[in-house]
Amino acid sequence: MDIKWLILYFFLGGTIVTLVTYFGGQGKGLLAAFVAFFPSITVLSMFTIYFTGGLNATTSYFKSMLLLLPAWLLYVIPVMFLLPKLGPVPSVLIGISAYVGAAFLTIKLVG
């Protein structure tokens, strides 16, 4: 892999995390979520997958993202409801556990 791409990913990821943290810390949750969900990472991933694996690999990537969307929701929902009760670490661990379990089940059923 070309080091230039890694440097670009590093700065892009850092910029996104910084903007999300800034807007979220200002109480602008909707704007923070907009930045976090903006498809910049998926667009970059799409191009890198397309140029290294072709059209079929890129299409497979996007279909797989849609298949894992329910698992991602099983991460977000527990975190949203458990955060006020348990705090950040336990709620995130429970959410990630739900995501991983649902994702592995999806992969097993589909793959």
> Does 77 lie in the same domain as 58?
no
> Does 18 lie in the same domain as 44?
yes
Q: What is the pLDDT along the chain (111 residues), one digit of tens a residue?
A: 688 878 888 888 899 899 999 999 999 999 999 988 888 778 888 988 999 999 999 999 999 999 999 999 999 999 999 999 999 999 999 999 999 999 999 999 997
> Does 53 lie in the same domain as 80?
no
> Does 33 lie in the same domain as 79?
no
Which residues does 85 contact at the CB level (< 8 Å), separation at least 6? Answer: 91
d(C-alpha 1, C-alpha 48), whole Å = 10
Q: Name residue, tokens 């995501």.
A: 99
Q: Residue 61: is it exposed, middle or buried by C-beta count within 10 angstroms (0-12/13-18/19+)?
A: middle
Q: Alpha helices, DSSP H only, in the chain?
A: 3-25, 29-37, 40-67, 69-86, 88-110
Domain encompassing residue 51: 1-65
> Does 75 lie in the same domain as 57?
no
- Residue 71, both tokens: 């698992």
The mean of the pLDDT values for the chain is: 93
> Does 75 lie in the same domain as 23?
no
